Amino acid sequence: MELFQLETFLAVAREKSFSRAASRLHRTQSAVSQTISKLEEDLGEKLFDRSSRNGSLTDAGQLLVTYAEELLNVREEARDALQELRTLHQGKLVFAANEFTSRYPAIATALQALPDETVLDGEVVALDGEGRPSFNLLQNYASSGTKLIYYVFDVLILAGCDVMGEPCTRRRALLEEHILPRLSEPIRFSLQFKASVKDLIASVKAQGLEGLVAKRADSKYEPGRRSGAWQKMRVNRGQEFVIGGYTVGGRTFDALIFGYYEDGRLVYAGRTRNGLTPSLRAGLMKRFDGLETKECPFVNLPESRGGRWGQGLTADKMKDCRWLRPALVGRFEFAEWTPDRHLRHSRFAGLRDDKKPQDVGREEG
């Protein structure tokens, strides 16, 4: 299963049309159809119901959507990490993936103090007013004027000497001894926290952070490999939301549409297909029986645009929505709220029959 096959598959799944997906991918419809057919052949599963007018997803297709989105999300994060790998050679700052000195001038200027022929690994972070990393501020920092911080957590090459074979503890000691004394704001050292996993997770949740990264103290630096020597744990935020509809697709449905009450009115917050297994979908469809309504229960729909991450529900997208009376409450996990009051990386965790829909509001923090 190739990445371009998954990208093609997701384009068709999101557009609900082979022709629109082909236009978006700048390919012919025949080429898109051939790619999907080859993917179905490799998997031994039908991913789309070709007999339906909009080529809706089968149950196997719905499962693959979740897998593909998570895999491509990891790929995007890896690409971002590569873009943040820096080399200083003969006084010129070079970025491993592309040249963006002009994009991050303050960081580039601060890194000029590095020894020649030095390679660091780190991450550019935008902090909100409370000092928490914000993905949305990072994406829109040019227009918001947000200060960016470059957190350094590893060194690969130090003054021309390859140190990737050294243990992680030794590499970090080299950082503290030979590199950090040369650097100043907006460069910071990513500190190590010596605490139990239980305490760390509790602290992450209390501060509204996204997760943890753990590395083996004796591990080597292995570029391009996911060897298990380091682990990334996302500690999602979560709260209850009211289910007000779903999008069509497959034998049951494609995604849940949900929101919260504000001043007595139901406000749309997002939709998700993550966390929904075939058995969960079937069970939810039974709970939907008798709740169907032609009226959209969300006061802020339709929205004027789809938004940066496609969570916006426009009038065109609402054609594929089916509405429910707001009687069911579910627990949803998510990474963060976006500026346009949608959720990023949301996932259904289960129904909450002990919660009244009218009591569900947006939880702060």
Q: Model confidence over 282-296: pLDDT tens digits? A: 999 999 999 999 999
Over residues 252-276, the mean pLDDT reads 95
Q: Which long-range contacts (CB under 8 A, 24 or more apart) does 159-166 make?
A: 159/115, 159/116, 159/117, 159/118, 160/116, 160/117, 163/221, 164/220, 164/221, 164/222, 164/223, 165/220, 165/221, 166/220
Residue 159 tokens read as: 């003054």
Question: What is the rounded distance in angstroms from the CA atom of residue 75 to the CA atom of residue 215?
Answer: 19
Whether the Cβ atoms of residue 328 and residue 256 lie closer than 8 Å to each other: no
- pLDDT for the residue 364: 75
Fold assignment, 83-234: D-amino Acid Aminotransferase; Chain A, domain 1 (3.30.470)
Split at pLDDT 50, 70, 90, the class of 272 is very high
Nearest residue to 296 (alpha-carbon basis) of 269, 270, 266: 266
Split at pLDDT 50, 70, 90, the class of 30 is confident
Angle, nearest 10°, between helix axes 3-15 and 29-43?
110
Split at pLDDT 50, 70, 90, the class of 98 is very low
Question: What is the rounded distance in angstroms from the CA atom of residue 313 to the CA atom of residue 297?
Answer: 13
Question: What is the rounded distance in angstroms from the CA atom of residue 52 to the CA atom of residue 56?
Answer: 6
Q: Which amino acid is at 224?
A: G
Residue 34 tokens read as: 């051939």
Over residues 193-211, the mean pLDDT reads 85
Least confident among 83-87, 189-193, 223-227, 284-288: 83-87
Least confident among 58-72, 200-214, 242-256: 58-72
- CA distances 37 to 23, 48, 213, Å, are 18, 10, 38
Question: What is the rounded distance in angstroms from the CA atom of residue 274 to the CA atom of residue 342?
Answer: 15
Domain 3-56 top-level CATH class: mainly alpha
- pLDDT for the residue 307: 66
Over residues 161-185, the mean pLDDT reads 94
- pLDDT for the residue 294: 96
237-359: in CATH 1.10.3720.10: no
Question: What is the rounded distance in angstroms from the CA atom of residue 283 to the CA atom of residue 345?
Answer: 23
What pTM does this model have?
0.54
> What pLDDT, in 10s, does the model give residues 58-96?
877 877 887 777 666 655 554 444 444 444 444 455 554
* Ranges of each domain in the chain: 3-56, 83-234, 237-359
- pLDDT for the residue 102: 73
- pLDDT for the residue 72: 61
- pLDDT for the residue 255: 94
